[in-house]
Structure 1
Amino acid sequence: MLMPTHLCKGAAMTKYNNILVVADPAQDNQPALSRAVHLVQHSQDVKITLFLAIYDFSYEMTSMLSADERQAMRRGVIMQREEWLKDIIRPYTDEGLNIEITVVWHNRPYEAVIAEVFANAHDLVVKATHDHDKIGSVIFTPTDWHLLRKCPCPVLMVKENKWPENGKIIACVNLAADSETHDQLNDAIVSEALAIGKALEAEVNLVNAYPATPVNITIELPEFDPASYTDAVRGHHLTSMKALRHKHGLPEEQTHVIEGLPEDVIPQVAEELDAELVILGTTGRTGLSAVFIGNTAEHTIDSLNCDLLALKPEGYLSPLSPQLK
């Protein structure tokens, strides 16, 4: 089990005051809890809830037991897991951190997590992901994907490695779309990166991918000038990036405008910079499965080898919202 360490040297990060950490039921080591503590270690009045949803189908199928007996058995299992979580948080609570535990019986962990977010107004969900042994990228479980698509608040997916001092954060922005929603989301992504960067003393880099000239256009339109088209597209993205970095006070060398698909460009830059965190935005209408920063597909984040923070646009309404039930 990771013991609390005072890693965060920068300014207190007070944006997140009510954090929900999803426990990994399979191990005592809880990287998500360690990351949440890292983020808020020098903040005041921050509450962390370590949350676990458990379910055992065999308890539901035991016909020899009455409903009351099955309920008592479930309660016994919950109490055992509560004691386990209490042991995990004790080193942190002994240092004065405000950490509580919640264990529920639910057969769909992601629904249980989102219901908890709505019930207690959590402003950040932190969950551990798993490394792929061969390529070092993050492997997301079905629960991870459901949370990324449907959770109403930001979701931080973490790997087991520690964040280094003076690391690098990548804020992925979409400069192709000309809409107020995308502009607001770009600003939210950059502001988020700057806030976390200040807390962790990490360098913030902006990344934008612009599309290559479609091959079919050059075939169908012989008079089409692909070089001029590419120059125009790149120029638009460079101009937009300049305006965005000036707005947020970032130097040019910390911005990257690269030709290619976002699902290729983002992991490439993250690897080149040895980034500790990538921040992405979702449109919120159809979730990550269809639109993820413009045309970025789900496999973008499958290719990352670092932590991921996914943000929703202002006004996003989760399909699991009580308002829709």
Structure 2
Amino acid sequence: MQDYKQILVVINPTVDNQASLERAIDLASKNQAEVIAFLSIFDFSYEMTSILSHQEREAMRQGVIEQRKEWLIDILKRYKNRGVKLTPQVIWHNRPFESVINFSIDNQIDLIVKSTHEHDKLKAVIFTPTDWHLLRKSPMPVLMVKEHDWPQNGNIICAINVAGDEDEQQHLNAKIIKHAKNLASKFSATIHLVNGYPGTPVNLAIELPDFDANTYNNTIRMQHEQRVQYVAQAYDIPIENCHVEEGLPEDVIPDLAQRLDAELVILGTVGRTGFSAALIGNTAEHVIDSINCDLLAIKPDGYKSPLEE
């Protein structure tokens, strides 16, 4: 894959310490990239002021935009000696995720960077805040930043799926690993592959008295190990860096990330929308609340955002 040339970082207007901006600048400095510091703002009260004309409301909005832009420029001044081109961008929009994705599509952004935090568990299951919308609907990679450092000689985990032989899944695995290799070369990091496989279905053991659960389990494990090792060999990743463990991805991935003290987890995510998305989510959304490091979510080639339709 090519280096990131344009990185959009989503600015949090409620804090001065922007962890996502720091991470974006680190990445940009190693890729000779431009960082666009993007702030989406909206105040419904300005839209409801019926005694003002359209021109007066527009003038008020522009005044707020300029005010926030000055605040943003002051923040960017702290990084003027980092050798990275920093561009402030403030947009008035009532749906932040839409403004981020639309701007990124229109300006051919290579990477979206945003800080995240541990979400309330109930809300993470039922509601879809900006983080979730970006993970589901952004066609370009999204890096969710936590407070974990990216040290030199750290660990990057690639979560791959080897359960099927579909071309799309193999291409997505390749895309994940190529992103990892690019980042690993910049930060002298070590790449690990992780894969979770399902355990023996309880109903089989109950309904079939002669069913050998151990043999079944070992067969499934060996199949997954062989496939993961085949992928590792194709990309010159040491076999000892392959981790195949029984369990769901949302359990296996965070456990390995903690054991390795990983700086980054990279996985593929398929945009899911509608009621099922709100209730179920996908692996990226389950994992992000359970890890203490950054997460990079990659879409399959050809993915089209619902905002483009």
Q: Same fold (TM over 0.5)?
A: yes
Q: Deviations over 1:147-171 (max 9, x none)?
A: 0000010000001343223211110
Q: Which residue of 1 aligns with 2:124?
A: none
Q: Which residue of 2 aligns with 1:136?
A: none
Report the CA distance shift for 1:24/1:167 in structure 2 as closer, same or farther (over 3 A): same
Report the CA distance shift for 1:190/1:14 in structure 2 as closer, same or farther (over 3 A): closer
Structure 2 distance, partners of 1:284, 1:314, is 12
Q: What are the ranges of 5 or more consecutive residues in structure 1 without an aligned counterpart?
A: 1-12, 134-139
Structure 2 distance, partners of 1:101, 1:114, is 16
Which of 13, 37, 43 lines up with 1:25 in the alignment? Answer: 13
Which of 129, 138, 144 lines up with 1:151 in the alignment? Answer: 138
Structure 1 distance, partners of 2:244, 2:149, is 28
Which of 164, 169, 182 lines up with 2:156 in the alignment? Answer: 169
The aligned amino acid for 1:88 is I
Q: CA deviation at 1:141?
A: 7.0
1:239 aligns with 2:226: yes
**Identity over aligned pairs, percent:** 54
Q: CA deviation at 1:297?
A: 7.0
Structure 1 distance, partners of 2:55, 2:211, is 75
Structure 1 distance, partners of 2:19, 2:69, is 18
1:272 aligns with 2:262: no
* Native 8 Å contact 2:10 2:20 kept in 1: yes
Report the CA distance shift for 1:141/1:21 in structure 2 as closer, same or farther (over 3 A): farther
Structure 1 distance, partners of 2:273, 2:232, is 29
Structure 2 distance, partners of 1:95, 1:267, is 33
The aligned amino acid for 1:80 is Q
Report the CA distance shift for 1:219/1:273 in structure 2 as closer, same or farther (over 3 A): same
1:43 aligns with 2:44: no
Report the CA distance shift for 1:30/1:297 in structure 2 as closer, same or farther (over 3 A): closer
Which of 155, 163, 168 lines up with 1:181 in the alignment? Answer: 168
Structure 2 distance, partners of 1:311, 1:203, is 19
> Partner of 1:239: helix, strand, or coil?
helix
Q: What are the ranges of 5 or more consecutive residues in structure 2 without an aligned counterpart?
A: 121-126
Report the CA distance shift for 1:297/1:112 in structure 2 as closer, same or farther (over 3 A): closer
Which of 26, 31, 34 lines up with 2:22 in the alignment? Answer: 34
Structure 2 distance, partners of 1:291, 1:184, is 22
* Native 8 Å contact 1:282 1:291 kept in 2: no
Structure 2 distance, partners of 1:161, 1:141, is 24
The aligned amino acid for 1:17 is K
Q: Which residue of 2 aligns with 1:129?
A: 116
> Partner of 2:230: helix, strand, or coil?
helix
Q: CA deviation at 1:130?
A: 1.9
TM-score, normalization by structure 2: 0.91
Structure 2 distance, partners of 1:148, 1:218, is 38
TM-score, normalization by structure 1: 0.87
The equivalences for 1:6-85 within 5 A come to 15-44=3-32, 46-85=33-72
Q: Deviations over 1:148-200 (max 9, x none)?
A: 00001000000134322321111000111221111111111112111111111
1:107 aligns with 2:94: yes
